[in-house]
Structures are given as structure tokens and as C-alpha cells.
Structure 1
Amino acid sequence: MRKRSFNWFSFLTILLAALAHLPAAAQEPDTLKPPPEATAPEKPLPVAKGSLVIIGGGLRGDNADVWSKIVSLAGGRGARIAVFPSASGTPEKAAEIIIGYLKKYGADAFAVPVAIRLAGSDYRKAAEDAALAEKIRRSGGVYFAGGDQSRITKALVREDGTRTAALEAVWDLYRRGGVVAGTSAGAAIMSSTMFHNPRAILPMLRSGITDGQEVAPGLGFIGDDVFVDQHLLVRGRFARMIPAMLTKNYKLGLGIDEDSAFVINAQREVEVIGYSGGLLIDTSQAVWDKTKPDFNVSNVRISYLDRGDRFNIITHSFTPAPDKAGGRIEPGREALRGPVYSNDILGNYAVVQLMERLIDSDQEEAIGVASGNPRSTTPEVGFEFRFTKTPESVGYISGIAEAYSVLNIRLDVRPIDIPRPLYKYR
């Protein structure tokens, strides 16, 4: 029987024809500029097989997406989860509530009695208890409650900066493949630098950020190359993330909103789940003039990642939620017309609403203003936030709801003089 010869020309012809007809979803995803090499970390990243669930605070008990994800990543129904109420002013009550919700979604949760506000307990001794550390280590996950993040680091980090036995057990769990979850203060500790005792946003913009005062060391589960903040959209905290990132030389920041979470796996893939989404802030191409008394910056890149969206920290690739897969906003669509602006860019969801209107409008830029008390009797320094479309700016809109994802908007911030009083009664 004669052997059939392989026709390479026919094979290549068929292959090229097949590739040409692949659906759009199978093509290369959008990439958030700049390329990955521009944001490579200066320090080695932790080697961990586990996942992070970074919650922006205000997590409701009926948010099944987030609670179920934590339980699933910890091992599923019956998974042991150690609850750290360390940040809370009332740790007994906080632990009781959180354990109740985790049990409702199938976990076998227990309280870790390491909290400086825990009555009748020596938190330093508890943090070094070998039996308690082993119990944590053998769990499938941990959950850090909200409150004051400085209480977490005080309870779990020794005065010389080394890890207590309890914290080392958390790291062992994380390296092995367990999940580390945290809400509000429990989210702030995820990066190597966290807000510590911050002032209001405008005073920080006017006089700067002091290391050791507004910011202090966190626990660093996400690595040394990403800054984390929480309660982001409801409180306009994107504006404080930028000066903090520049001060501490972070190129990438993730800010998550309330009742929502970033889920980050061992491959550093980010998935947004929960009620809304969060902001991705890129300062790798930013220009900051430190010689000026008030904060100023140009060429920050800001993106809004909505629930269901995915982003890879290493490759900077973005994949929209399934309901947005065919909803890329093409140039010339211009659904909205007229100026895009906000008189209070630090207001509740104001930054996202402005970005959504800009990406789907005929305008190339939008302006947001931040200022203080309009009834003040003396002039004050305010700030102009200028958002500009670039050739890399991309938007997606859901096919089933008025929901957007917005990528690569340029942001410039500069101080402006605000006359006072802003108005007079007639």
C-alpha cells in the first residue's frame, strides 16, 4: 500500500482561511497601555499559589457572588476559614457577624482572637500561640474584617517588623493555595503600602502625603508592584490614590468600590465581582512636578473595570464581561453630545459617570472640579481634573444594561484658584 504524501500548501491554505473567520472574541484582547515591561516590579513578587479577594467595604450579607467565591476558593462547602476581626473596634461582634455569613454560604468558619480591642485578651501572646497558628495554617482561607487597618498590622507584625506566628501561618496558607480575603481595612493591608491615618482628600492634595503619617507598610499579599485602596467610587478616593502612588513609586493601582471585589489568582489575573467595579490607575508615564506647592500631575492613565471584566496584571490584557463581548464602542458612534463635566468630581460615583459619558460622546475631553466649602469667606485652592480620550482609549457597553467599561483615559490634575464666597444670596 502506497503512503499518502502530505500537501503543505493545501494545509496552510485551509488554516489561513479558518483563522480569517475566527470570531472577534477569539482575537487578541485589548491591552491597557503601557506595555508590561514598563511596569515590571522592582522587587521580586511573592511566590504564592493562592488567591486574593479584595473587597471595597460595605459588603452586604446577600452578596452571594462575593461570599460564595470566598468559600469556593477556600475549598468549597465545609471549608475552614479563619476570621480575623483585628481591625474592628468591636471584634467579638464583627467576628460573630462574619462567621454567620460564611456559614450561611457553606463554610466552617472560626474566630481568631488576635485583636487589640478584644477584651480580656493579650493580642501579642495570642499572635504567637503555636496551636492557634497551626489551626490557621491548616485552614483553606482567612478573612480580614473592616475597621482600622493599623490595628491589623499592630496585632500581626512585631515591633521589629517581622511577622508573628499567626501572620506567618496566613502566609503559609496563601503560598499553599488558600484564599486571603479582606474587606475595607482588610483590603487596605493587601498591598505593601497602605493608607494609615489619612486626612481628607483635598488637604492631602494641597499639602502632600507624608510617609509614616498618611501611608505606612501593609502586609503585601498582592506583591510590591500594585497599590490597593477601597471604598473607592462612593468616596472619590481615586484622587488620593494618585499622589500616594507617586510618592511611593507605584506604577499600578487597583481601587475597588463598596459591595464589590477584585479576585486575583496565582497567575495575577483579576476578575471583578459583586455590585459594581473599580478603577485601574497607571502612573508609569505620569509627569509630576514636585517643586510646586500643590499637587499636579499629567498623563496618568485611568480605566474603569466593571463587574465581570478581567484584567491581567502581568500582560495588561483586558477581557470584557460576557454581556459586553460584542459591545465595543467604535469611533463615530457619538451617542451623547455636548460638554462633559462634573462640579464635584470627588462625589459619589462622579468619576465613573464622567468617564462613561466621555467615552460615548462626541467630546474629546471632560472636566471635573474639586473644591471645598462654597460658603468660605476666603479664596482657596481647588483642583481641575481633565480627562482626555487618546488613540488607546476604548469603551464597551453591555448589551443588556446601561453598563460601561472604560479603558485608557488620560488624566491631568492641576491646582486652580477658587474665589470665595462662591455665591451671594440675592
Structure 2
Amino acid sequence: MQTSPQAGTVVVIGGALKADSDAVWQRIVDEAGGPGAPIAVFPTAAYEPERISAQIVAALERCGAVAQVVPIAPHLDGIDLQARLHDPALIAQVAASRAVFFSGGAQEYIVDTLRPGGRETAMLGAIRAVFEAGGVIAGTSAGAAVMSRLMFRDAMDNLAVMKGLWRAGQEYDQGLGFVRDWLLVDQHFLKRGRIGRMLPALHALGCRMGLGVDENAAVVIRGARLEVIGGAGALLVDIGEATHDAALPAFNLRGVRLSYLDAGDSHDLDSGVTTPAARKRDGRRIDPAAPGFLPLREAGRYFLDILGEGCLHAALAQLLEGAAPEVLGLAYRHQPPPQDAMPGVGFEFRLYRAPGLVGWRDAAPGADGYTLLGARLDVIPVRVALPLYTPLRAEAPQPLQETRP
């Protein structure tokens, strides 16, 4: 069962919220009705549910909510998990809430607990009822991963997914389905280079668009409207016009559309229109195709580890403000594990400008945030030398030649 994506509000947090992230917590409380809003906190995914739930409750109550823990988690000691899932008092507590918050941890604990064997529990039914009544479903990290119809369950190796080493029920699984069917949500996105697993999943699982939320950022989703809040941004990955060459012996896509949205930016999923934050519209508009465009990044950088921490973000900034119309990077493993069936295969990432590429810089003094719309990406399998390089050997010393005046 999937909940209607038009009912309530979803808040997807990319994980690792910083101490000064009260804007995200406050937005959850405001969406739930403001001061006094009852919020049910599920530490189900957490490895230390008591500690994590106490932190979440404190953050929400600091912003005016009345937050209560729903003590259902595999790592809670001395409880009867099945009894609590069907406890009328706990179900009534959730049903009376205006918002539900899922902690981080391991997303498989959430789906396996609330929907064991694919069968929805009464507790999950109560959570869906909160959403259907116009309430809020929020989650961070693992709690964000469960929001889409499909989710990554345990796919930590991005390159392995690109090489096809992922299986239903293990690396990916059914999520809870609080957003549109064709939207795949992922978290810790740019920090952990997770476009490597996002692209094969979109292509194989029938999802047209991916929403990759970075750490210390959140995306508020209500109906078709997305809004980015927090201290970082999110990447929209659209394969609606991308092509795939089935004759190639490894994963490939050409013409993927990428757009990076910063805090304060919004996007309409129906129209495809992005509205930059007001401070961006008052700042510097960047159009590399415009007459008189002056690049701010002259030196081109080749990204030897495009899936490394923050590398895709840096590559997009270089594409927008650099002199070259394309930016290249490589995804490969210099020491493949024994189970790698394609040890010499890597993937070239080619980011390039296309008609309509445009961006904005933040106008605030000292700010370095930007918005970028309409970059294109090709991912092409390549053969990589193993080892990629070898040390130079010392040359034999040459005898000195006598010179005469």
C-alpha cells in the first residue's frame, strides 16, 4: 500500500544535522501546527534508541512541540516488539499526533518492523492515517530513506551497484511510499558520492527522478512542491530524456539532467520549474552561453574520484563558472575486491553544458552557495589499467663526457 502523495507533508533530512539546525526542527513543528503540536518519535532505526530519541525529543520541544517517544525498536532491550506494534494505547498515541518522526540508523529496521514480510501492521496504518489527515511524516538519514516507494536497503558500495552487484531485498527494497511513485529518495548524497548508486537504480527500477539530499539539509515536500531548507542543498537527478546503450557490457547512461538546489530554492515536480531563493535572484545570475560571460574558474580540474566526498558538487560548480564547456571525472577502484567480476572496468563521468544551463550565486556577503539548473551528464564504462600507474625507475647514471675549450 502506498499513501496518497497529495495528503500531508513529507520532510526528508539528509542526515548529520548540525547543532545550529533549528530551522529544520522548527519547520517540522510549524508544518505540524506550531506550538503544542503533538509529534510521535520513532527511534526504530537507531542502534541506541534511548539516546537518539532523547536528542530528537529535546530538539522538537525546543521548537515548541510536545514530542513523545513511541518505544518500538529492535535495539530496545527487554520489550515485546510484536505486542507494542499492536498496543492500542501506543496506536492511539500515534493517531492523535500531528507528525511522525523517524530517526536515523538502519532503514531496514523500519520496514522490517512496521511491515514484516510485506504485511502492514496496525501501527503503520496509524502512521499513514496521520499523513492522510494532512499531518507530517519526517525522517533523517535512515528515516529519510524509507519515504519513497523503493529504497536502498544496504547498498553502501556505490561502484558495486554501478557494476550490477545489488539484489532485491538486500541492497534495495520496498520503502513506505510517502512520495510519488517515480521519485527515489536518497540521503547523505553528495557527501558520500551516492549518485553512483542512484543512477543504476533509477534506470533499473522504473523511477524517473531521484532526490539526493545532502547532509545538514532537508527537503520539504507537499504535493508537487519541493523546498530546500537547512545548511546545504539537494540534487535532482532526472533520467526522463536519458538514453541507454544495451549493447555495452556495463551500465551506461547519456543525457541525464542534473539540477542542484540550495537552501531556500523550490521546485515544482509537475511543471519542472525551479524558483531560486530571493537572495539568489537579487544576486549574480550565471549564464555561460550569454555574451560577455566571464569564467571565474580558469583552471580545469580532472576528478580522479568523482564519487569522493563533495567531488560532484565541486564539478558542478566548475561546470557553471569555469572556462571549459565540460568537466570530466572517473569512478574506479584501484584495488578491486575478489568478488568484483569486472575488476578493470571503471566509469567516466562527463558533465557538460546544454542549452538552458543557468545558475545563481548567493548575494549575501561572504556566502558561497549557488543554484544550478540543467547540467547534463553522460556515464560511460571504460577500461582502467590495473595498476593505474607504476613508479618510475631510476635511470643508470651516464658517464661524464670530457669537454675541451
TM-score scaled by length of structure 1: 0.85
Whether the aligned pair in 2 keeps the contact of 1:208 and 1:243 (CA below 8 Å) is no
Among 204, 222, 243, the alignment partner of 2:200 is: 243
Q: Which residue of 2 aligns with 1:373?
A: 334
Give deviations 1:63-110, integer Å, cap 9, x for gaps.
111011111111111211100000011212211121122112221111
Measure the CA separation in 2 of the matches of 1:249 and 1:362: 36
State how far apart, in whole Å, the 1-side matches of 2:55 and 2:23 are: 18
Partner of 1:344, secondary structure, is coil
Paired AA for residue 149 in structure 2? S
2:369 corresponds to? 403
**8 Å CA contact retained: 2:330, 2:346:** yes
In structure 1, what residue type is equivalent to 2:135?
A: G
- Alpha-carbon deviation of 1:187? 0.3
Structure 2 residue runs of 5 or longer lacking an equivalent are 393-405
Secondary structure (helix, strand or coil) at the match of 1:356 reads helix
Q: SS of the counterpart of 2:285?
A: coil
Cα deviation for residue 56 of structure 1 reads 0.5
CA distance in 1 between partners of 2:294 and 2:306 (Å): 23
**1:293 corresponds to which of 249, 266, 270:** 249
Using the TM superposition, give the Cα deviation of residue 424 of structure 1 relative to its aligned residue in structure 2, in angstroms. 3.1
- Corresponding residue to 1:190 among 147, 164, 180: 147
In 1, the alpha carbon distance for the partners of 2:112 and 2:192 equals: 26
**Equivalence for 2:127:** 170
Residue 294 of structure 2 aligns with an amino acid whose one-letter code is: E
Distance (whole Å) between structure 2 residues aligned to residue 44 and residue 338 of structure 1: 49
3-state SS in 2 of match to 1:272: strand
Does residue 1:324 correspond to 2:285, yes or no?
no
1:372 and 1:135 mapped to 2: Cα distance?
A: 49
User: What residue in structure 2 maps to residue 148 of structure 1?
Assistant: 106
Counterpart amino acid of residue 408 in structure 1: G
What is the RMSD of the two structures over their aligned residues, measured on CA atoms? 2.1
Give the alignment's TM-score, normalised by structure 2: 0.89
* Matching of residues 209-228 of structure 1 within 5 Å: 209-228=166-185
| Distance of 2:220 and 2:201 partners within structure 1 | 23
Q: Quick one: which of 310, 313, 316 aligns to 1:355? A: 316
Q: In 2, distance between residues paired with 1:379 and 1:98?
A: 43
1:345 is the counterpart of 2:306: yes
Shift of 1:114: 1.4
| Identity between Structure 1 and Structure 2 (%) | 40
The AA in structure 1 aligned to 2:208 is K
More divergent stretch after superposition (78-87 vs 201-210): 201-210
SS of residue paired to 1:341: coil
Give the Cα–Cα distance (whole angstroms) in 2 for the partners of residues 45 and 133 of structure 1. Answer: 18
Partners in 2 of 1:202 and 1:225 — Cα distance? 23
Query: How much has 1:421 moved relative to structure 2?
Result: 2.2
Distance 1:309 1:199 in 2: 29
Q: Deviations over 1:209-234 (max 9, x none)?
A: 33333210000101212100000011
- Equivalents in 1 of 2:221, 2:189: separation in Å? 18
CA distance in 1, matches of 2:49, 2:346: 39
Is the Cα–Cα contact under 8 Å of residues 49 and 174 in structure 1 kept in the other structure?
yes
Equivalent pairs counted in the alignment come to 382
Distance 2:166 2:336 in 1: 27
Unaligned stretches of 5+ residues in structure 1: 1-42
Amino acid paired to 2:198: M
* Matched residue SS, 2:173: strand
Report what 2:60 is aligned to. Answer: 102
| Shift in Å, 1:337 | 2.9
SS at match of 2:315: helix
1:284-319 deviations in Å (ceiling 9; x for gaps): 111123453321111111111111110011111100
Distance 1:212 1:157 in 2: 13
Other-structure match for 1:40:
none
Q: Distance in 2 between matches of 1:180 and 1:45?
A: 11
Whether 2:294 is the aligned partner of 1:334: answer yes
In the alignment, what sits opposite 2:72?
114
Alpha-carbon distance, 1:375 to partner: 10
